[in-house]
A and B are shown apart, each in its own frame.
Chain A
Amino acid sequence: MEVDAGEFGTLEREIRIDASPEVVFEVISRPEHIREWWSDDASLEPAPGAVGQLVWEDRAEPVPVVVETCDPPRTFSFRWTSPDGELPAAGNSLLVTFALESSPRARCCASPRRDSAKRAGRQRCWSGPSMTTRWAGTSSCLSYVITR
């Protein structure tokens, strides 16, 4: 990354999601899902260098987005919030980086009662026994970093 994170502002967060990294990657990178968690409408090719648009009904102009990294299911990053009339590039915009890591399935699936108290606030616990057997055994750790 050409951005010197030490020189500029950064925000960093981490969240655990009970879904495989492949599923989470689709949600963060595909326009049909971006419409569900971010803008009112989105057109975006998940490929490095691709220029996409985010549309909000209360904004006159669509907002340009440029994909920097697309490495499924690990890393997805893009730039946005550039000055009017400029495409987002290093130095004039915010870089948002999503990093995904798979982590072992939460133990709370096996013993919901004990763990629900311990993990309260960190993670929602599956309650039904069907859930325990249903899915592949990994959850995802999604972190995002925003830098200039």
Chain B
Amino acid sequence: MTATIDDQLWSAIGDPIRRQVLDILVADGSATSTGLSERLPVTRQAVAKHLAVLDRAGLVHAETAGREKHYRIDDAQFARAVAQLNAVGRTWDARLGRIKKLAEAIESQRPPS
């Protein structure tokens, strides 16, 4: 059986830059798109687009403080995303384990070459 996968969440956390954005937010608590672009190999505009995707998926929230928006992780949604990825991974790990057992059993029954 497959675990139910939330499309938007899956796509949001699939992008490597967005994962780096999430890493920084987890470590620092909050950041602005300017601050993030200084630490990532992409422009501020690109960071803003990534933040919009993360926002739509409910993974970050913006707070306006001063001239810039400050982004924070939504802890509950982030935990959900991690749990979903882990669930899919675990299901496939179990299948892979069964594949290994089956193949090794067949191999051991083959006549010696």
Using a CB–CB cutoff of 8 Å, the interface residues on chain A facing chain B are 6-11, 13, 15, 17-20, 23-24, 26-28, 33, 36-38, 56, 80-81, 94, 96, 131, 133-136, 140, 142, 144, 146-148
* Alpha-carbon gap, A20 to B2, bound state (A): 28
B3 to chain A, nearest CB (A): 10
Complex interface bits, B94-113 against A, C-beta within 8 A gives 1, otherwise 0:
01111110111011101011
B79 contacts A by Cβ under 8 Å: no
B99 and A8 contact, CB distance less than 8 A: no
Across the A-B interface, how many residue pairs have beta carbons closer than 8 Å? 87
A-B contact pairs, 8 of them (CB 8 A): A7-B11, A23-B110, A37-B102, A80-B2, A94-B2, A133-B112, A142-B100, A146-B92
B108 and A131 contact, CB distance less than 8 A: yes
Using a CB–CB cutoff of 8 Å, the interface residues on chain B facing chain A are 1-2, 5, 10-11, 13-16, 85, 88-89, 92-93, 95-100, 102-104, 106-108, 110, 112-113
* Alpha-carbon gap, A56 to B2, bound state (A): 11
A13 and B89 contact, CB distance less than 8 A: yes
From A6, A9, A27, contact of B102 by CB (8 A): A27
